[in-house]
Structure 1
């Protein structure tokens, strides 16, 4: 930049270049976050001219943590510079140049370093999603840097999230901080910790489904009949009052009837197991809950015996472990959604759908245990024996 150039014009050029770079990198990491299979022809290398991108000994998660930390710090500087007098274009431009020169491309490089063949596709995509969020929120902040050489007005500074004219710079900075913190927290868990945390979250979802099914199973049609009788008795006691007020409420009821009908449909959508239970739903529910409990134990044992023993940083040497992990994670991710569909089939008392989904769910559980039975090194360990017992029990129903 020429020493005689207009600082405001120079700042606008820096902002424009930064926005172009951030948009390009966002497109790359967003593609990685949504791809179905590993992309061996990564486009990130041409955009991320960083020596670290090809360094197999580097820990991509540590790089992501450090990059997010620096982005957060620089974003804080920018946020303060654009709201405090005097507005200094050269100071803002300096901070943005530092971002462009280091933390921004390094964050994208970290996603590239976390290759599926070393870190698993699961970890790379989870990091890519979080990195993409940082880049998008950074674009929002850069877009709010004044172009007229003046600090932001109170409205542009203080507008809250969801405001008609868009959120202000302070709220935007807060959202960016949150995105950076998310990357830092994820990266800090390391290779083993990130996988373990993911499976623990999936286990929690399964346990939620199990508890909901338990509560539903404890209710019967008799409970509904008792509630209906109670409502009828109250209606008889209040009949005279209802007659007096019915005329006054007529107009209001006509306006709210559609909404009430929707609420009634929602309240009545969950049917309960009839007392005579001709479809043997109760028997199926008991079998499902027993095996669902076993499945949650499989998730728990997977974390303890297979994931936590993994290293914090995966070895640089080639291994079949990441591919095996991706296969396992794929099955473990699929099961909570399928169990959710199974729960809906129970609520609808759909015997054929219950049978079909139970077969799918517990086939997945069996398959997961089969994938996990063999240790990462060697042929057999304590978990192998447990997995075999699990398979016997899951078949029993």
Structure 2
């Protein structure tokens, strides 16, 4: 190989090393930010003119485009190390530090802690996938050969094409997050939580509608024993999917006895009525609060309290699906004392969550405030 070609390969090798070190350092910083979002908040001044989500969008778009260039350059003849070096220089000078800076500029006070953590997580994944692709760049001056080096997807041995696809997917997540914005991200989360609560409500309804068998006690004991054996056998069957296993477990729960000696059915009816109100709460918050959310980053003085309120909302509302999942389990186990305990916790948490939105974003009460007061009253009824 001519000296000029050798120099080009040496330059490429040095740039690969530089890019890899930079990516490792930035991934470490983003990992720290993700696990401790309060850290590094004021380690360096943030330019107030920077829109963190717009910067993230642009940086991810550029990384996606440059990653595509690298992917094509390493599989198509002739191999041109100078062209790859140019792409790496552009990445190092712009979009790589730009993406990390966007996560740093996405402060909890301006964008909420939820968005800060989510952006840091997604940005770290982009840098990780980009690092994987850069490691696929040949050092011998030849393009990647056809086969596993290009299209292989074995664990630990991803080819360049799968690595490119994973980078695209990671970049697309950043772009989607940026387009959704703060309002869109929280609305999406609330829809997901509400859907989970609706699923729990339907499962409880179906369980409550089940009719107990009229067999005598001895037959019931035998049937219960058979049911346990059948369930155990099914759980050992490798052909069952995770969803099928879950369905087997759910279907094994005994129905409410006709005599209902522990008063399970009245508790179920009360819980279903209130649970429906909780699902309506999610729907109402989307319409009357999130729809009217001010733009971000928060600029006006009254908006300084909005981000903490949204974070607290996510903390309160995000736990409700798990809480009501525990309530469903208590019902399935026919444990009245546990049902009462978890009911108090569930509906108390729902009431506390509603209290965060009695005032609108301007700190004033409105017609929706009255609805929330009535909702809290329903949650506290004995």
1:296 paired with 2:279, answer yes
Alpha carbons 1:191, 1:311 under 8 Å: kept: no
**Match among 75, 82, 92 for residue 84 of structure 2:** 92
Indicate the residue corresponding to 2:226 in structure 1: none
Number of aligned residue pairs: 358
1:146/1:220 Cα in 2 relative to 1: closer, same or farther (>3 Å)? farther
1:217-248 superposed Cα distances (whole Å, 9 cap, x missing partner)? 222332999xx99xx9xxxxxxxxxxxxxxxx
Counterparts of 1:125 and 1:320, CA distance in 2: 19
In terms of mean alpha carbon deviation, does 216-225 or 185-194 score higher? 216-225
**Match among 259, 269, 276 for residue 286 of structure 1:** 269
Q: Secondary structure of 1:6's match?
A: helix
Q: Secondary structure of 1:324's match?
A: helix
1:366/1:257 Cα in 2 relative to 1: closer, same or farther (>3 Å)? closer
CA-CA distance at 1:267 after TM superposition: 6.9
CA-CA distance at 1:31 after TM superposition: 2.1
Unaligned runs of 5+ in 1: 46-52, 233-255
Alpha carbons 1:332, 1:368 under 8 Å: kept: yes
1:86/1:205 Cα in 2 relative to 1: closer, same or farther (>3 Å)? same
Unaligned runs of 5+ in 2: 224-232
Q: Mapping of 1:143-222 within 5 angstroms? A: 143-154=135-146, 155-160=148-153, 163-164=154-155, 166-222=157-213
1:131-154 superposed Cα distances (whole Å, 9 cap, x missing partner)? 111111111111111122211122
1:294-334 superposed Cα distances (whole Å, 9 cap, x missing partner)? 11111111111111211332333551111122112110111
Alpha carbons 1:120, 1:325 under 8 Å: kept: yes
Counterparts of 2:137 and 2:333, CA distance in 1: 54
Indicate the residue corresponding to 1:330 in structure 2: 315
1:259 paired with 2:244, answer no
Alpha carbons 1:56, 1:316 under 8 Å: kept: no
**Match among 83, 106, 110 for residue 114 of structure 1:** 106
Alignment RMSD: 2.8
1:167-225 superposed Cα distances (whole Å, 9 cap, x missing partner)? 21111111111111111111101222222222222212222222222222222332999
1:75/1:258 Cα in 2 relative to 1: closer, same or farther (>3 Å)? closer
Counterparts of 1:324 and 1:257, CA distance in 2: 47
Counterparts of 1:223 and 1:164, CA distance in 2: 55
Counterparts of 2:235 and 2:368, CA distance in 1: 56
Alpha carbons 2:41, 2:107 under 8 Å: kept: no
CA-CA distance at 1:4 after TM superposition: 8.4
Q: Secondary structure of 2:157's match?
A: coil
